């Protein structure tokens, strides 16, 4: 397929690009090489790949990149949790406006197939299970509770600490930070576009993606990259809260395979897909696995917290398996060894 990949020079984008090429697709990359991600480093596309160096908010660049394409994989975005409220305009502009400009361009170019990089953060605190009230949406964690070391979100009805449930795609959306809000907005813009143009959208709700090429040493780096950097300097990983927060760490090559499968197979309607390995781990467990793999000092539990963080967020990715016939291939231990080896 002749496809446009936005954000193809980024961490996940480069793996998606490799997967697209391996599967014989004809690819054009649109990427702004934004300085907060790429520094001033140039980027050269692999042989045979067209490259438009431009911003997804720039309609002229978008039109050039869309010329002759049949589908779009939209990964270009400002990522991470954000540093503070001063980040809001950049999330709204880079992610929301960028997606709106791209969708308008797709309508002009009559391209009907979109895969959108979304995120598990759209679910907020995810799903909790109360011993009394059953499955419930956990109440937000307030600063006072976090400062007192009460990390588990309570039942919104009776206040009992909740057990975690696996979040399915039909769970309510509940974005709790700027990045999450921008991902929800992107999904809604895409759904509006699909309704008016008859296009198809696969919204890939990525879990915590890790693997070779992870961004490091920026405020937007994921926890696995932060721990790897610390261990490389001989320092213990600093684990926030009590280390019991659960995530699903999914390898970037598995994420790339899921993304390309969606582009190849999903061609009707709007569908969200959770993209997780299916095996949740605690952040403390992940820190310990990396420390062992890198023969570094044991992790330190700091009790620090970030107000925008969710406690547990773990996906039910069975829809992706059933409908797109995707299977994760990289085992957690092997993935951590690979991270350690490339640190
Ligand atoms: C991550 C992604 C987000 C994605 C989401 C999907 C990043 C920066 N964020 O968010 O883009 O949409 O997964 O589920 O990649 N922590 C520590 N020590 C640290 C830093 C973090 O213990 O030094 C803890 C945090 O408190 C948190 C966990 O690690 O509980 C994960 O943090 P982070 O890697 O920033 O990812 P998410 O917030 O889960």
Query: Could you tell me which of 234, 203, 207, 233 has the C-alpha nearest to residue 222?
Result: 207
Query: Could you tell me which of 4, 192, 185 has the C-alpha nearest to residue 95?
Result: 185
- Residue 336 in tokens: 């951590």
pLDDT of amino acid 186: 98
pLDDT at 313 over 90: no
pLDDT of 195-219, one tens digit each? 999 999 999 999 999 999 998 877 6
**Cα radius of gyration rounded to whole Å, the chain:** 20
Please give the distance, rounded to the nearest whole angstrom, from the Cα atom of residue 73 to the centre of ligand 1. 24
Residues, the chain? 343
What number is the average pLDDT over the span 272-288?
A: 96
Query: Could you tell me which of 40, 37, 42, 46 has the C-alpha nearest to residue 14?
Result: 46
Residue whose entry in the numeric block shows the structure tokens 């697709």 = 25
- Helix ranges (DSSP H) in the chain: 11-22, 35-38, 59-66, 88-91, 98-109, 143-147, 178-197, 223-232, 252-265, 283-293, 318-324, 332-341
Q: CA-CA distance, 296 to 317, in Å (whole number)?
A: 33
pLDDT at 161 over 80: yes
Atom number of ligand 1 nearest to Cα 247: 39
pLDDT of 224-255, one tens digit each? 999 999 999 999 999 999 999 999 999 999 99
340 close to 293: Cβ distance less than 8 angstroms? yes
Residue whose entry in the numeric block shows the structure tokens 């991470």 = 80
Atom 6 (ligand 1): residue with closest C-alpha? 207
Structural element, H or E, at residue 52: strand 50-53
Pocket test for ligand 1, best of 10, 203, 231, 247 (most atoms within 8 A of CB): 247
Residues lining ligand 1, CB < 6 A? 79-81, 119-121, 206-208, 220-223, 226, 238-240, 245, 247, 283, 306, 309, 313
- Residue 320 in tokens: 């992706």
Q: What is the band of 83 on the pLDDT scale with cuts at 50, 70, 90?
A: low
Q: What is the band of 84 on the pLDDT scale with cuts at 50, 70, 90?
A: confident
pLDDT at 32 over 70: yes
pTM: 0.95
Query: Could you tell me which of 337, 133, 328, 153 has the C-alpha nearest to residue 250?
Result: 328
Q: How many CB atoms lie within 10 A of CB 73?
A: 29
Residue whose entry in the numeric block shows the structure tokens 């610390």 = 230
Atom number of ligand 1 nearest to Cα 302: 22
Report how far apart the first and last C-alpha atoms of the chain are (Å, whole number).
Answer: 35
pLDDT at 82 over 70: no
What number is the average pLDDT over the span 45-51?
A: 97
Half-sphere exposure of 250 (CA within 13 A, CB side): 31
Query: Could you tell me which of 280, 265, 284 has the C-alpha nearest to residue 328?
Result: 280
Residue whose entry in the numeric block shows the structure tokens 């059953």 = 134
């Amino acid at each position: 397929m002749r496809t446009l990949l936005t954000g193809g020079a980024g961490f996940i984008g480069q793996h998606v690009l490799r997967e697209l090429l391996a599967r014989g697709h004809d690819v054009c990359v649109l990427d702004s090489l934004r300085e907060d991600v790429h520094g001033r480093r140039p980027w050269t596309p692999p042989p045979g790949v067209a490259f438009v160096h431009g911003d997804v908010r720039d309609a002229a660049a978008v039109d050039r990149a869309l010329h002759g394409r049949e589908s779009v994989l939209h990964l270009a975005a400002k990522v991470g949790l954000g540093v503070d409220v001063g980040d809001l305009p950049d999330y709204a502009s880079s992610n929301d406006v960028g997606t709106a400009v791209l969708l308008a361009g797709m309508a002009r170019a009559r391209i009907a197939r979109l895969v959108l990089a979304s995120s598990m953060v759209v679910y907020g605190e995810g799903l909790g299970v109360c011993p009394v009230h059953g499955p419930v949406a956990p109440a937000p964690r307030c600063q006072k509770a976090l400062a007192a070391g009460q990390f588990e979100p309570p039942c919104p009805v009776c206040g009992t600490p909740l057990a975690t449930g696996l979040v399915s795609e039909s769970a309510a959306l509940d974005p709790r930070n700027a990045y999450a809000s921008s991902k929800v907005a992107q999904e809604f813009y895409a759904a509006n576009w699909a309704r008016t143009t008859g296009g198809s959208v696969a919204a890939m709700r990525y879990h915590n993606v890790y693997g070779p090429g992870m961004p490091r040493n920026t405020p937007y780096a994921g926890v696995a990259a932060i721990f790897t950097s610390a261990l490389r300097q001989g320092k213990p990983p600093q684990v926030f809260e009590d280390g019991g927060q659960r995530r699903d760490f999914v390898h970037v090559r598995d994420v790339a395979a899921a993304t390309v499968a969606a582009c190849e197979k999903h061609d009707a309607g709007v569908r969200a897909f959770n993209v997780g390995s299916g095996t949740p781990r605690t952040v403390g467990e992940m820190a310990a696995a990396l420390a062992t793999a890198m023969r570094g000092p044991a992790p330190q539990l700091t009790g620090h917290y970030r107000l925008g963080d969710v406690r547990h967020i773990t996906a039910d990715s069975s829809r992706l398996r059933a409908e797109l016939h995707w299977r994760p291939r990289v085992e957690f231990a092997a993935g951590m060894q690979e991270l350690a080896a490339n640190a």
